[in-house]
Chains A and B, each alone.
Chain A
Amino acid sequence: MQKKISSWEILAVLLCSVVALVVIPCLNAFVPETSALHISNFSINLWGRYFCYAVVAISVDLLWGYTGLLSLGQCLYFALGGYMMGMYLMRMIGSLGQYHMPIPDFLVFLGWTRLPVFWKPFASFPFALMMVVLLPGALAYVFGFLAFRSRIRGVYFSILTQALTYAACLLFFRNNILMGGNNGFTDFKYMLGYDTRSASTQRGLYIISGVFLLLVYIFCKWLTGTKLGKVQRAIRDSENRVLFSGYAAGNFKLFIFVVASVIAGLAGALYVPQVGIINPGEMSTQNSLEAIVWVAVGGRGTLVGPIIGAIFVNAFKSWATEAYPDYWPIFLGGMFLLVVLFLPGGIVGLVGHIVNLFKRRGQPPVSSSDTYAPTASKPPTAPAVTGAPLPPK
């Protein structure tokens, strides 16, 4: 049964969308720079990136908050999507590179005179877009199929995703796979005929990112409201009971895993033209874990949480890396510790808690089945249930 969406929520989403997608771009484009209301190109670009981060955060939450799969490799799919878009953008540079050759500069540098075969189709935007969806999706499908088939779960799944990401990161650092090596792709010029460096293109990308975020939000809202969403949460809370009830939990997990990866890949594809660079550093474990921080801080098991978390943490990061560059990792680590130890519900959970305090109803902070309730996730004692001695933890 689909949960009723409150009119408050619709109103809030509408309001945010209008402000973010209409008012802010207008303030950037039509208000003169001298005005106090003007929004700079820099801010537009920054917020465009935040939207991409928010999409990644939603995809992490779809896995972690809703299905209980903590993937430490979500940035792998993000970066793969980014690389596919990057290949298209590299082709669009044409002969405008430093070497004035019809192939990307780094290939000239590596001694190539002709385009490698797999680079050829990337001149077409629809092909690149297809690859943005296909490559992360296919990789997630293969990896997920293998992992879920052998019932790798919990922390083992996390560690394996981390290993996969690490392997991919090492691979992309190599020059001889012809993906730019250490430096990755950069110096983009044109996208679909528009100059990627111009303010209007950046504004367009910002709007596209915002719309994409909105669509992902609506899609996930719908998805988690369906019966599939119910099974998803049931897997999170007790996978064995789902199995005993006759559901093929692995297939559900695989589906969610692929969907989340495709979403992350698309976010990466939108992200790359906005930052103008993609390199293997995007795949580091650190980035994947940062995405998890966004979700944890915002509040997992909700869809608003990841968005709030991604924007809040990144805004904080932008400020802190400038004001206290040496202490940013300490802030980040501390934030993580704080949230995990004291605020399992994140910002959204905290707000819910405060609201409940005001209402004095004595109910748990956020009562709906949406929220992740860590303490309830596993029965504390197993012997009575399984009738066998507990295997060592």
Chain B
Amino acid sequence: MTTPPPCRAAGAFRQLAGFLSFCVFLLAVAVSARADDSAATRQLLCKAIQSEGDEQLKIIASLADSNSDLVRKVLVAWPNDGVFLIDAGDGTKIPVMLEDAQDADGKQKAVRIDTGDYLKDATGKPEAFFANDLDSVDSDFRLKKVIKNTLELMTLNDPDAETRRSVVMKLGMTQNPAYVPVLQARVAKESNPMVRTALNDAIAIIQLKDPNPAVQIPAIEHLGSVTLIASRDVLTAVVQDPASTADEVKAARQSLSMIEAHIARVDFFGTLFRGLSLGSILLVVALGLAITFGLMGVINMAHGELIAVGAYTCYVVENVFGSGLWLSPFGFSFHIPGLNRVGWQFQTYFIFAIPAAFLMSALVGILLEVTVIRFLYRRPLESLLATWGVSLILQQTFHLVFGAANVQVDSPSWLSGNFTISDVILGYNRLFVIGFAVVIVFLTWLLLTRTPLGLLIRAVMQNRNMAACMGVRTEKVNMLTFAFGSGLAGLAGAFLSQIGNVGPNLGQNYIVDAFMTVVVGGVGNLFGTVYSALGIGTIDEILQQVFGSPVVGKITVLVCIILFLQWRPSGLFATKGRGLES
């Protein structure tokens, strides 16, 4: 896993705060960067501020090419009454903006737009003003619109490619022919292929309005060939427009059908991807159960609470890394000095949380095995009841320690966000869970088949008495197996804490699904669990799409499972044995 760059903001809250401060920051940068802006631009700005009517609008529109931070800053401030005119004393007026910093009285220094220097008094000292005392430059509706427009065009020069792309699409969707030359000029300069594609698409969308069929039809065909989903509405408009010629309608219909086919493909792959990731979540949750229930035959109803232990461990680690942990029932806050991390160091907490969650759940599992389950290996129904008792106790303990409300665990920035391949959105956390599932299935398989411990585990699970006769310390092996299964539950919890809130009942939401997954897969067969988890996840996701409601989808899945077990009572991969009592 790569270490994220230090400048990335952490967590949603920090992002919001970051955004707000970014606006302020923009202004500050503009002021400090005044040396870069040529005098000509400054003169043009001053002229724009002090002129009137159409001339003013024309000057402002011409500023779009300037690519100057100062212009951006002034145009942002202007409609918000942030540009002022100060009487110079000789009848002329000086356009100024106020600096952000306030002095002790709440006054702000004024920066001259024409020179970039502070406005000075007679003695040469910078003069400070109250914003309320000054006359701000007015802006009417028309002016505001032009300013907004100019700013958008200026964004075409934004250093961030994603910002450029989004503004290009926005300009395209206006279908205003005036933008075509601007966009075409930009195509020549644009180096980023993604933005260049967007530019071409935007030009094509605008050209749909072109009266000349020679321009319009290639545009329609272009949109069809790139299967731009966003252009569906405008193409539909072309089809419905009575002024369209037959050729145009035909071309538009063809493009539309290509786009529809593309949408169907995107939906299909999107559903497949979501199903795969849902299946992976199920798999991560059920794998631990496949060990304790499938291999050991112990019905652990507290498995869900072991998942919650993992999730809460993640929460604790996150808080210890961050601002400290407040534990209400004990009335103190806990944090390790020097660990009050921000930035990328905080982002690494999850890497530490994963093993911590595994160990914590494994420890709780060992405790559970030694005190309760050990006595109930021959009484599966009773182990179900006893562990349910344990689950109640654990739930209430979470409730008392962490409070009844759900707690939020901030995902590290490298787990939030997504990227898009051909319009299919792939979330990082969904990708992560798929990879995570692959890794832990592989490790589990490795442990069970390629290590001495795995050999002992399989021996004890196949025939406990015989293994004991051969000198295997079955009690110890049982304990370790159970601890391993519990640890896997902890890993599941660590992951679940990243995709939702953590509450005392977290495990309850997954326990029924997890049991179903193991039963469908075939008890005692790890790969059965893999197939059934992926299968159930995908079918669940598809049914959710079909019925348009997660609950109905879920109910259907449960009913399907009950019916499936009619057909294969011992699951997909039944363990073959000639014994009747199994």
Q: List residues of chain A with CB under 8 Å of any chain B CB.
A: 68, 70, 143, 146-147, 149-152, 154-156, 158-160, 162-164, 166-167, 170-171, 173-174, 240, 285, 289, 292, 296, 326-327, 329-330, 332-337, 340-341, 344, 374-375, 377-383, 386-393
Contact = CB atoms under 8 A, between A and B. Distances in A.
Contact of A330 (B296, B376, B385, B393): B393
Given A154-B380, A174-B551, A330-B393, 14 more contacts: A70-B385, A143-B562, A149-B566, A155-B380, A170-B551, A240-B581, A285-B512, A326-B399, A329-B396, A333-B389, A336-B388, A377-B379, A390-B462, A392-B524
Contacts of B295: 392
Nearest to B461: A392
B577 interface: yes
Given A326-B400, A341-B375, A392-B575, A382 B390 contact: no
B240 interface: no
Contacts of B388: 289, 333, 336
Contacts of B299: 155, 158-159
A327 B555 contact: no
B148 interface: no
Nearest to B515: A159
21 contacts: A155-B380, A155-B384, A160-B565, A171-B551, A240-B581, A332-B389, A333-B393, A337-B372, A341-B375, A341-B376, A344-B382, A374-B379, A380-B378, A388-B577, A388-B578, A389-B462, A391-B576, A392-B295, A392-B462, A392-B577, A393-B582
A341 B368 CA distance: 13
B176 interface: no
B537 interface: no
A336 B512 CA distance: 21
A20 B515 CA distance: 43
Interface residues of B, number: 56
Contact of A70 (B297, B372, B378, B381): B381
Highest count of chain A CB atoms <10 Å: which of B296, B519, B552, B580? B580
Interface string B518-561: 01000010000000000000000000000000011011001101
Given A170-B554, A330-B396, A390-B579, A162 B512 contact: yes
A374 B386 CA distance: 14
B581 A378 contact: yes
B380 A336 contact: no
Contacts of B381: 68, 70, 154-155, 158
B392 interface: yes
Contacts of B62: none
B543 to A, nearest CB: 13
Contacts of A173: 551
Contacts of B512: 162-163, 166, 285
Interface string B331-362: 00000000000000000000000000000000
B309 interface: no
Contacts of A392: 295, 297, 461-462, 524, 575, 577
Contacts of B554: 167, 170
Q: Which 7 A-B pairs have the closest CB atoms?
A: A391-B577, A336-B389, A333-B392, A388-B578, A393-B297, A333-B393, A333-B389
B372 A341 contact: yes
Contacts of B297: 392-393
B558 A163 contact: yes
B219 interface: no
